[in-house]
Amino acid sequence: MPSQPILKIDSLTVVLPVFNEEKIIEKSLRFLADTLQSVCLDYEILVVDDGSTDKTGTILHDLSHTIHGLRVLRHSRNQGLGGALQLGFREARKTLVFYTDSDMPFKYSDISQAVRAMESSGVDIIAGFRKNRAQEGVLRRMCSRAYNFSVACIYGVRAHDINCAFKLIRSDVLKTVVLKARGSFIDAEFIIKANYLGFKIQELGVEYYPREDDVSRLFRFYPIINGFLEMAKLYTDIMRVKRSAVKDWSVA
């Protein structure tokens, strides 16, 4: 089978929320920069340091002088995943915006796959889902299924893996969708509101690579509970968006 032609991405911002990642952040950013240099005509790497208390801030400061296109934003205190992403999305300058975690849960080369899927389908958002989740353990998979099921029941939006940190977004979508979640519910809030507002969403299966230290920053008791609490807390606001533009409620 002939290989696909090399895709050159015209304009891309990659948003990486970071909290206490001194062990991996330099490796991650250098891998990302190498990938973007080979596939992008114009890009920026926007790292949001969400109040790190280890050496992450110092490492990022040093790397900002050596990695092309790297911009570092910092919260003086931890604002949560939602707060970090809201800042990153506001500051993004390019036509397409890609968001993922800083601990390399996916191959950065898969960004090209997402852009290719977006161009061929004409959708506004590519939402990744983890194809291989057996390594995560039974409890984590059960919590994820319960969360996705809850979102489907409460908000009518169905997705394989709504909290997956692999999303490619047209920048005009981010100018329209107003996000309010401060924690991990922001992924679901974004997909739900974007869907209600009529933006086209396509899911894309991607290979998942667990953290090398096997310590998830999100799969902890407080973030899980907080995600369900925010799901309920933002119900009124999300329903207001739904009433303002009733659209198809199912992810393509």
Residue 55 lies in a domain: yes
What size, in residues, is the chain? 252
Residue 7 lies in a domain: no
Residue 33 lies in a domain: yes
Whether the CB-CB separation of 51 and 66 falls below 8 Å is answered with: no
Q: How many angstroms separate the CA atoms of 244 and 230, rounded?
A: 21
Percent of the chain scoring above 70 in pLDDT = 88
> Once rounded to an integer, what is the mean pLDDT over residues 159-175?
96
Residue 165 lies in a domain: yes
Residue 251 lies in a domain: no
Residue 5 lies in a domain: no
Q: How many angstroms separate the CA atoms of 13 and 117, rounded?
A: 17
Predicted pLDDT at 55? 98
CA of residue 58 relative to chain centroid, distance: 24
**Mean pLDDT estimate for the chain:** 90
Give the largest CA-CA distance in the chain: 51
Predicted pLDDT at 32? 98
Predicted pLDDT at 250? 46
Expressed as residue numbers, the domain containing 214 is: 12-244
Q: Is the predicted pLDDT of residue 6 greater than 70, yes or no? A: no
Q: pTM to 2 decimals?
A: 0.90
Q: How many angstroms separate the CA atoms of 101 and 44, rounded?
A: 16
Interstrand relation of 125-130 and 166-170 (parallel, antiparallel or unpaired): antiparallel
The region that residue 137 occupies, defined by phi over 0 for left and psi between -120 and 50 for alpha, beta otherwise, is: left
Residue 6 lies in a domain: no
Residue 231 lies in a domain: yes
Query: What's the structural domain count of the chain?
Result: 1
**Which residue(s) pair with 98 in the sheet?**
14, 168
Taking only the tens place, the pLDDT of each residue in 223-244 is 678 888 999 999 999 999 999 8
Say whether 173 sits in a helix, a strand or coil: helix
What's the order of all strands across the beta sheet hosting 43-50? 70-75, 43-50, 12-18, 96-100, 166-170, 125-130, 201-206
Q: How confident is the model at residue 145 (pLDDT cuts 50, 70, 90)?
A: confident
- Which token pair is 174? 């981010």
Taking only the tens place, the pLDDT of each residue in 26-82 is 999 999 999 999 999 999 999 999 999 999 999 999 999 999 999 999 999 999 999
Query: For the domain that residue 107 is a member of, what is the CATH number?
Result: 3.90.550.10
